[in-house]
Amino acid sequence: MKLIRKLRRAVLRQDPSFCDMHEDAHAREAAQEYLGHIRRHLRARFGDKRLDILDAGCQAGRLLTPLAEDGHRLIGVDTSGFALRRAAHHAKERGVPVRLHRGNIARLRRWVGPASLDAVICAEVLYLHRDHEALLALLVQSLKPGGLVCVSHRPAAFYAAAALERGDEALAAQMCERAEGPSPDGDYHNWQTEPQLRALYERCGCSVLSCDAVDRQERAVALRDVREARVAALLRPYQPDGSRLRIPAYLLVIAQRASWASAHAPRGPEFATGEPHA
């Protein structure tokens, strides 16, 4: 089956299991939210200037292609060759040039030099990585002083609400006590509150300009039944009128690299070398 899948991908450019986020209706809705916030900040910071922008983890180009249509110079990096072929297809359909590279963003220096970009975008990627802070620092170091980084993170409330929906209030409480580890689905994730995100970006040499909710989702949770005070306090801002919870799937942080400081350098050969990703 794997061989057939690979052949279909390589020859027919088909894979029924692949979610093309450029074409998927829900992903496109979220993309419009992302783009609204990103474009607003790009315009406020740079005006009508044509910008050099990296989309780290670009998938099929749902953010990359529209920003290229705005006239910016886009570089896309992704680990999936199939996703990059889809991104190239969508860019060609729109008649916009983009540069696409296959590899892990930890090897970013193969394609992007330090202090070379006006803006960096990384949507729905870092929350899956144990080394998310080092990766964020690497992205920030790619910015010119005063450049913008636009990254989405899982909010702590998302996982706390998911645990409550499963009837596991003890797990929801754990989501309040720690900021990474097994999520309710069992896989490693990391999650943060807005104050934690602001502290993270400050450590990376940035000032946070905004922290915006993206892709709000209803959760069947009654706060009146929640006994854990920490959990109730975390979720209460998402149920201000007593109705059902509406939790954002992501918090989009838009931050500006300080002009007087550089982010701390990621440590270890995996970040320091330009070796290709295996």
Assess if residue 5 is contained within a domain. Answer: no
The residues facing 121 across adjacent strands are 55, 150
Assess if residue 1 is contained within a domain. Answer: no
Assess if residue 188 is contained within a domain. Answer: no
For 51, the domain range is: 20-154+193-216+250-260
Assess if residue 49 is contained within a domain. Answer: yes
Distance CA(278)–CA(269), nearest Å, equals 14
The residues facing 252 across adjacent strands are 152, 212
Assess if residue 40 is contained within a domain. Answer: yes
Bridge-based pairing of strands 143-153 and 180-182 is: unpaired
Q: First CA to last CA across the chain, in angstroms?
A: 23
Write out pLDDT tens, residues 137-192.
Answer: 999 999 999 999 999 999 999 999 999 988 999 999 999 999 999 887 789 999 99
This prediction's pTM: 0.86
Distance CA(251)–CA(238), nearest Å, equals 13
Distance CA(256)–CA(46), nearest Å, equals 12
What is the reported pLDDT for 24?
78
3-state class (DSSP) for residue 229: helix
Assess if residue 148 is contained within a domain. Answer: yes
Query: For residue 203, which amino acid is it?
Result: R
How buried is 73 (Cβ within 10 angstroms: 0-12 exposed, 13-18 middle, 19+ buried)?
Answer: middle
What is the reported pLDDT for 2?
46
Mean pLDDT by 10 residues, the chain (278 residues): 46 60 84 97 97 97 97 97 95 97 96 97 96 97 97 96 91 92 88 96 96 92 88 88 83 90 41 32
Query: What interhelical angle do 194-203 and 132-141 show, nearest 10?
Result: 50
Query: For residue 200, which amino acid is it?
Result: L
Which CATH number characterizes residue 107's domain? Answer: 3.40.50.150
How buried is 54 (Cβ within 10 angstroms: 0-12 exposed, 13-18 middle, 19+ buried)?
Answer: buried
| 3-class DSSP string for 6-24 | HHHHHHHCCCCCCCCCCCC
Total tally of structural domains belonging to the chain:
1
